[in-house]
Amino acid sequence: MLARLRAIFGEVGDVQRLGLVRLMLGFFLFRQALHDVEHASVWGYFGTRFHVPILPDALVPTPLGWATLEAAMLTMGALVVVGIAARPSLFLSGIAGIYLLLCDRMRYHHHIYTLYLMALLVAFMPCDRSWARGRRFAPDEERIGPLWAMRLLQLQLTLIYVASGGSKLFDAEWRSGAVLADRLVRYGSSAIARGVPHAIVDFLRSPLGGSLMAKGAICTELGLAVALWHPRTRRLAAWAGILFHVTIDLTTGVDIFSWLSILILYLFASYATPSGSPSAAPDPPRTP
């Protein structure tokens, strides 16, 4: 058991794809910081309006402190995209983002929390060797790196599926389909605007459609949590998960949560299930 754990924590592999994930994440970090600034320019700084801090109010930043922090987060988002000081920028963006969530729980949304958790974990991956500093491919001598933090990120998505699917499973109203059908009543028009056929949206709004959709969502989330870690089903589960999130994104408003999940599912699709035995000698690096 100890040897198996040691093998998992010592796993190494090709880090080429991690750079692409970092680049996309940097874009989302930049976008979120920009959104915060835009919101404040319309409504004013949250600290001087109604807010519900989890931290003591004395720790909520002053307007100048907040503006400085957001400027730093915008800069760090850009640095993550281009791959300069990317790992420290990811880490600090994650810390700063979670700090701001703790300053005002009114700003809490699952997708924002997930974004900052992901930034923290990606900081511990060798994600700055490819798609960085104008270079697409990692140099041959840097192509192989540790994957433990990537496995932890995959485990984080699994935990999200279990928490989400489990809470729905134990909620009778949710299992009945009432929650989803009602949500479709409210957001169905945006799904139609995005090209989902009217007849499908009408069916999903019905009690039968809602019930089927609810049971399907619970089975999908809990099923993905298992199938993503099985060697035989991993790749299929990753693609099914991507389809699942695209469907959610088309039919309901969840901002960037679907895209963050798809980034992690891309890693599931790309990297073989950890064997629990020491990493085999990797293939020779492919020079472009």
Element (H, E) at 193: helix 178-193
- Pair 188, 228: CB distance under 8 Å: no
- Pair 56, 156: CB distance under 8 Å: no
For other proteins, which is the closer residue by CB, 8 or 235?
8
Does residue 255 bind other proteins (CB under 8 A)? no
- Pair 278, 154: CB distance under 8 Å: no
- Pair 213, 252: CB distance under 8 Å: no
For other proteins, which is the closer residue by CB, 232 or 281?
281
Among 142, 203, 216, 242, binds other proteins (CB under 8 A): 142
Amino acid at 8: I
For other proteins, which is the closer residue by CB, 164 or 273?
164
Residue 110 CB, shortest distance to other proteins, in Å, is: 6
Measured CA to CA, the distance from residue 115 to residue 113 in angstroms comes to: 5
Measured CA to CA, the distance from residue 143 to residue 136 in angstroms comes to: 12
Among 113, 137, 203, 229, binds other proteins (CB under 8 A): 113
Q: Which of residues 196-225 bind other proteins (CB under 8 A)?
A: none
Does residue 229 bind other proteins (CB under 8 A)? no
For other proteins, which is the closer residue by CB, 17 or 168?
168
Question: How big is the chain by its Cα radius of gyration, in Å?
Answer: 21
Does residue 99 bind other proteins (CB under 8 A)? no
Using CB under 8 A, which of the segments 25-33, 73-81, 150-158, 224-232 binds other proteins? 150-158
Measured CA to CA, the distance from residue 195 to residue 263 in angstroms comes to: 24
Does residue 60 bind other proteins (CB under 8 A)? no
Among 145, 188, 209, 223, binds other proteins (CB under 8 A): 145
